[in-house]
Structures are given as C-alpha cells and as structure tokens.
C-alpha cells in the first residue's frame, strides 16, 4: 500500500479503525451467495502497526517451497517527489514467513534505507540456480546519509537466515536530475535461452539506465536511455512477457482468481478502497477489511490468494477449485515471472492481464 500525503495518512488511520471494526463484524459472515468462502488462511502478528507492505513469493528449496518475503514499515510510503516526500520516523524491515504463518527471520534495514517502494524495491529470484530464491534489495553503506546513492549497494540475501551473501555497488543514476527522478530503482529478473539474468534499473521520466547481471554478478551489458529519448518514459510498471502475442490489461484494482475458475475477481484496492472482492459483473462477493498488498498464488491451496495490508494476512476462498483454465494460467511462464515482480513499482496489477 502506498500513502502519499498527510491527508492520506489520516485516512489510513481512520481506515485502520474502520477495518478493525469491519473485521470483527465480518468474522463470522464474510461472503454471501455462490460457493465462495473467503477467509484468512495465514495470519502473522508482527507486533507493530503497518504503514506500508510489499510481499513476494519466495521458494526456499524443498524446505519451504511456499514462503513469503516482505518489506514493511510502520511508516507510510515515502515518495521521492518533493510534493510527497517526508522524513520518515520509522525504518524498513525485511522478513520471511512460511505460509503456515511461521516467521523465519526479520531484519531492520536501519536509517540509511528510505522506506518507500521507489527507493527500496524487493525481488526474489534464483539467479545462481541452486533451487533457492535469494532475496535482492538495495542497502546503504552510509546509514547516516539515506540519500547518498554513491554508497548504495545491491545485496543478495539468504532467504532462510536473512544473512547477506554478497553485495556490489548499486549503479549510479544519471546526474543532475531532480529528486523525484533520481531515486526510482528497480530490481527485476529475466531468462535468456533458459539462463537467468538479474536486471537492475534506475530512473523514470528522464534519463534511465538498465543493467543485466550474470549469475556471478559480472555485468553482461548496460543500456542507457538518454533524457528526451522518444517513447514512454513514465511507466510505473514493468510487466514481463510478450504483449504482442498475449495482450495485457492493467487494472487499478487488484485482479485475483480467488476461486480458481480461470476468471478474475477484483479486490479494491491499492491506493484506496475498502477491500471489497467483486466479480466480473460488479457483484460484491466478500470483503477483506481494508486495502490489499498483493494477490497471486502464495500457497499450494487452490485458487489465488490475497495478502492484506495492515496485518500480515493471506486470504483465500477455502472452497476454491482450480479448473484447467486456471491451471494453464498458473503454468504460464509469464504468470510465474510476473508473480515475483510485485516488490517493484506498481507491478502488482500486471498479473491481471496474464
């Protein structure tokens, strides 16, 4: 969830209270009609208020094939644009939990890491092909100066322990640039002829750089897009796929096939919304009691699931039954790739078109 202004922060506080009341009221009466049965299936109490949350599925080998890595903070989302920037009073935490609700570890990233999705993306990707998704984040060797991008590093984190495995300097953005454009960072992944590549990128709207990294963290190539290059420079999403052959639709609500019938339901919302789950005709099927952070297949259970913001909760339709259409969708390589994109930018919407 992203909260940009003081007004939005007040709205968020109000929504927290409303959400708590709604949760209480709805605890025994979540859904009417059809065979939907939406319930929280994974719950983790992390002991603090959550102002922002990003969650990505992570596979820790056969030990925890379905785990969830998440970045969260008590602080609302800090945006680099001066019209929305504020000095955070809280830090960003990185954690991993299993889908049985066990917290494996948690790390405080400290005052050098700005709690905001554009400053601090999260990516889970098995670059070294050992069967375990390592976590990739941007950290700062100069914790007293959070905007000192000269000391930013790309870190590879062990998902089972939270320990740093390695780091390299984070590529520097083009300068001079205004604050808003300077701190827009992405960590992504790709496969070339079946071989994984880690991708990093800096910038939006102005000059941009994109790097591809081999599994030994040597740079394969860098692509520089100068300022004023013709074309789209302001995209906040980075869908993976072949749009020409597949076609993509991007929604402002979060699409989720909660019952596994191959047809999307929609949950409201991300920036604002009341957590209603609606079907393709607009009928309200249930409510998760507030904003959602992510929707995809988190657990081996049938259907897709929703991760709810405010609490670490994964909601599912316990009556879900995956049909062949849904199974084909989960098996689509672009579904798998986009499922891990949601810790970057506004990519949690892109799964809807796939």
| Three-class DSSP labels, 206-265 | CCEEEEEECCCCCEEEEEEECCCCCCCCCCCCCCCCCHHHHCCCCCCCEEECCCCCCCCE
- Six-digit token string for 236: 């906040």
Compare residues 263 and 318 and give the one whose CB is closer to Ca ion.
263
| Number of residues located near Ca ion, criterion CB under 5 A | 9
- Give CA–CA dist 290/100, Å, rounded: 22
- State in angstroms the smallest separation of the CB of 164 from Ca ion: 14
Compare residues 130 and 142 and give the one whose CB is closer to Ca ion.
130
3-state SS assignment for residue 30? coil
Q: Which of 8, 75, 77, 126 binds Ca ion (CB under 5 A)?
A: 126
3-state SS assignment for residue 174? coil
- Six-digit token string for 157: 């984190």
- State in angstroms the smallest separation of the CB of 169 from Ca ion: 21
Compare residues 130 and 178 and give the one whose CB is closer to Ca ion.
130
- Name 201's bridge partners: 186, 210
Compare residues 258 and 291 and give the one whose CB is closer to Ca ion.
258
- State in angstroms the smallest separation of the CB of 321 from Ca ion: 10
Compare residues 73 and 259 and give the one whose CB is closer to Ca ion.
259
The footprint of Ca ion on residues 47-76 (CB under 5 A) is none
Q: Chain-centre distance of CA 30, in angstroms?
A: 26
- State in angstroms the smallest separation of the CB of 256 from Ca ion: 8
Compare residues 306 and 312 and give the one whose CB is closer to Ca ion.
306
Q: Which of 5, 103, 108, 130 binds Ca ion (CB under 5 A)?
A: 130
Q: Which of 134, 304, 317, 322 binds Ca ion (CB under 5 A)?
A: 134
- State in angstroms the smallest separation of the CB of 354 from Ca ion: 14
- State in angstroms the smallest separation of the CB of 153 from Ca ion: 19
- State in angstroms the smallest separation of the CB of 158 from Ca ion: 9
| Three-class DSSP labels, 183-202 | CCEEEEEEEECCEEEEEEEE
Q: Which long-range contacts (CB under 8 A, 24 or more apart) does 23-29 make?
A: 23/289, 26/287, 26/289
- State in angstroms the smallest separation of the CB of 128 from Ca ion: 4
The footprint of Ca ion on residues 254-313 (CB under 5 A) is 257, 259, 261, 263
Q: Which stretch binds Ca ion (CB under 5 A): 26-34, 121-129, 165-173, 308-316?
A: 121-129
The footprint of Ca ion on residues 228-257 (CB under 5 A) is 257
- Give CA–CA dist 144/161, Å, rounded: 26
Compare residues 143 and 196 and give the one whose CB is closer to Ca ion.
196
- Give CA–CA dist 270/291, Å, rounded: 6
| Burial zone of 72 (CB within 10 Å; 0-12 exposed, 13-18 middle, 19+ buried) | buried
Residues in contact with Ca ion by the rule CB under 5 A: 126, 128, 130, 132, 134, 257, 259, 261, 263
């Amino acid at each position: 969830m992203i909260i940009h202004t003081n007004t939005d922060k007040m709205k968020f506080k109000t929504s927290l209270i409303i959400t708590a009341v709604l949760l209480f009221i709805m605890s025994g009466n979540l859904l009417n009609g059809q065979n939907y049965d939406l319930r929280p299936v994974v719950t983790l109490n992390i002991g603090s208020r959550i102002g922002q949350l990003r969650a990505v599925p992570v596979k820790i080998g056969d030990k925890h094939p379905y785990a969830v890595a998440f970045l969260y903070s008590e602080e609302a989302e800090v945006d680099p644009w001066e019209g929305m920037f504020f000095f955070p009073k809280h830090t960003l935490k990185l954690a991993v939990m299993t889908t049985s609700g066990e917290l494996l570890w948690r790390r405080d990233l400290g005052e050098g890491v700005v709690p905001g999705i554009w400053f601090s993306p999260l990516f889970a990707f098995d670059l070294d092909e050992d069967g375990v998704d390592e976590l990739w984040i941007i950290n700062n060797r100069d914790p007293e100066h959070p905007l000192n991008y000269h000391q930013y590093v790309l870190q590879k984190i062990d998902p089972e322990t939270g320990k740093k495995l390695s780091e390299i300097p984070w590529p520097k953005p083009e300068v001079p640039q205004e604050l808003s454009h300077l701190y827009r960072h992405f960590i992504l992944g790709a496969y070339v002829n079946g071989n994984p590549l880690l991708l990093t990128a800096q910038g939006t709207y102005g000059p941009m750089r994109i790097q591809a990294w081999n599994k030994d963290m040597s740079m394969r190539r860098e692509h520089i897009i100068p300022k004023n290059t013709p074309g789209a420079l302001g995209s906040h999403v980075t869908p993976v796929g072949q749009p020409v052959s597949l076609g993509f639709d991007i929604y402002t609500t979060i699409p989720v096939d909660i019952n596994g019938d191959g047809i999307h339901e929609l949950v409201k919302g991300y920036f604002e919304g009341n957590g209603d789950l609606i079907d393709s005709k607009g009928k309200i099927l249930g409510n998760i009691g507030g904003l959602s952070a992510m929707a995809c297949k988190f657990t081996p259970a049938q259907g897709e699931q929703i991760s709810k913001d405010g609490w670490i909760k994964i909601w599912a339709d316990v009556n879900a039954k995956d049909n062949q259409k849904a199974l084909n969708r989960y098996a689509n390589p672009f579904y798998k790739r986009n499922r891990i994109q949601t810790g970057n930018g506004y990519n949690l919407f892109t799964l809807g078109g796939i």
